[in-house]
Structure 1
Amino acid sequence: MTIKKLITSIIPISLIPKLKSVYYFRYTLNKYFKGINYKRLTPKEIYNREIKNFDLLIYDTIFPSLISGFRYAEFNALLHAFKNVKIIVNPIDYQVLNQKPETHTTDIELLRKTHPISHKKIFAGTVKDIKNAKFFYCIFLNNIYDSLDYLEKNKINFIFTLYPGGGFDTKDEVALKKLKSVLSSKYFRGVIVTQQFTEDFIVKNYNCPKDKILNIFGCIIPQNSINVTRSRHYNNSMTLNVCFCAAKYTEIGADKGYDIFIETAKILASKGHNIHFNVVGGYDSKVISIEGYEKFFTFHGYKKYEELQSIFLEQDIIMSPNRPFILNLGSFDGFPLGAVVEAALNGVTPIVTDELKQNTVFSKDEIIIVKPDTEEIVMKIEELISKPKLLNLFSENAQKKFREIYNDSYQLDKRIDFIKKHVYDTSN
Structure 2
Amino acid sequence: MKKNLLFVIPSLAAGGGEKSLVNLLSQIDYDRYNVDLFLFNHEGLFMEFLPNQVHVLPLPKTYRIFTQPLLHAIMKLLIKGKPIIAFNRIMFSYINKKIKDTSIKEQYSWRYLSKSLSCLEKKYDVTIGFLEKSSTYYSVDKVSSSKKIGWIHIDYDKLGMDPNFDANYFNKLDHIVTVSKECATVLKQRFPAEKEKVKVIYNIVSPSMIKSMANHKEYNLASKKNDEIFILTIGRLHYQKGYELAIEACKILVEKGLNIRWNVIGEGDEREKLSKLIKKYNMAQHFKLLGLKSNPYPYIQHADIYAQTSRFEGKSIAIDEAKILCKPIIVTNYSTAKDQITNYVDGLIVEMDPVSIAEGIEKMIINPDLRERITNNLSKLNLSTEDEISKLYKLLG
TM > 0.5 fold call: yes
Are 2:320 and 1:341 equivalent residues in the alignment?
yes
Are 2:143 and 1:164 equivalent residues in the alignment?
no
The equivalences for 1:339-418 within 5 A come to 339-357=318-336, 359-360=338-339, 362-364=341-343, 365-401=345-381, 404-409=382-387, 411-415=388-392, 417-418=393-394
The equivalences for 1:25-64 within 5 A come to 55-63=4-12
Query: How many correspondences in the alignment?
Result: 323
Residues 341 and 348, structure 2, Cα contact 8 Å, conserved in 1: no
Are 2:138 and 1:146 equivalent residues in the alignment?
yes
The partner residue of 1:220 within 200, 204, 227 is: 204
Residue 370 of structure 1 deviates from its aligned partner by 0.9
Deviations 1:208-233 (A, max 9, x none): 455533223x4123552157889xxx
Corresponding position of 1:71: 21
The equivalences for 1:312-327 within 5 A come to 312-324=300-312
The partner residue of 1:240 within 223, 229, 240 is: 229
Secondary structure of the structure 2 residue equivalent to 1:220: coil
Deviations 1:310-332 (A, max 9, x none): 111111112212114xxxxxxxx
The 1:139/1:352 distance shift into structure 2, 3 A limit, reads: same
Deviations 1:373-409 (A, max 9, x none): 22222222222222212112213323543xx344312
Find the structure with the greater CA-based Rg. 1
Corresponding position of 2:165: 178
Corresponding position of 1:115: 51
Are 2:396 and 1:420 equivalent residues in the alignment?
yes
Residue 180 of structure 1 deviates from its aligned partner by 0.8
Secondary structure of the structure 1 residue equivalent to 2:185: helix
Residues 79 and 86, structure 1, Cα contact 8 Å, conserved in 2: no
Corresponding position of 2:247: 262
* Residues in 2 aligned to 1:66 and 1:286: alpha-carbon distance in whole angstroms: 21
* Residues in 2 aligned to 1:122 and 1:308: alpha-carbon distance in whole angstroms: 25
The 1:159/1:66 distance shift into structure 2, 3 A limit, reads: closer
TM-score normalised to structure 1 length: 0.66
* Residues in 2 aligned to 1:405 and 1:177: alpha-carbon distance in whole angstroms: 37
* Residues in 2 aligned to 1:214 and 1:75: alpha-carbon distance in whole angstroms: 19
The 1:63/1:321 distance shift into structure 2, 3 A limit, reads: closer
The 1:281/1:357 distance shift into structure 2, 3 A limit, reads: closer
Residue 246 of structure 1 deviates from its aligned partner by 1.6
Moved beyond 6 Å, runs of 4+:
64-67, 227-230
Secondary structure of the structure 1 residue equivalent to 2:30: helix
Residues 190 and 213, structure 1, Cα contact 8 Å, conserved in 2: yes
Residues 182 and 335, structure 2, Cα contact 8 Å, conserved in 1: yes
Corresponding position of 2:100: none
The 1:196/1:54 distance shift into structure 2, 3 A limit, reads: closer
Secondary structure of the structure 1 residue equivalent to 2:149: strand
The 1:311/1:357 distance shift into structure 2, 3 A limit, reads: closer
The 1:171/1:85 distance shift into structure 2, 3 A limit, reads: closer
**What letter matches 2:243 in structure 1?**
Y
The 1:189/1:389 distance shift into structure 2, 3 A limit, reads: same
Q: Which runs of 5+ in 1 are unaligned?
A: 1-50, 92-100, 231-235, 325-332, 422-428
Identity across the alignment (%): 17
**What letter matches 1:204 in structure 2?**
Q
TM-score normalised to structure 2 length: 0.70
Deviations 1:7-40 (A, max 9, x none): xxxxxxxxxxxxxxxxxxxxxxxxxxxxxxxxxx
* Residues in 2 aligned to 1:227 and 1:260: alpha-carbon distance in whole angstroms: 33
Say which is worse superposed, 277-286 or 221-230, in terms of deviation: 221-230
Residues 241 and 277, structure 1, Cα contact 8 Å, conserved in 2: yes
* Residues in 2 aligned to 1:286 and 1:275: alpha-carbon distance in whole angstroms: 17
Residue 297 of structure 1 deviates from its aligned partner by 3.4
Residues 171 and 194, structure 2, Cα contact 8 Å, conserved in 1: no
* Residues in 2 aligned to 1:229 and 1:62: alpha-carbon distance in whole angstroms: 25
Residues 348 and 399, structure 1, Cα contact 8 Å, conserved in 2: no
* Residues in 1 aligned to 2:314 and 2:148: alpha-carbon distance in whole angstroms: 23
Secondary structure of the structure 1 residue equivalent to 2:142: helix
Residues 206 and 385, structure 2, Cα contact 8 Å, conserved in 1: no
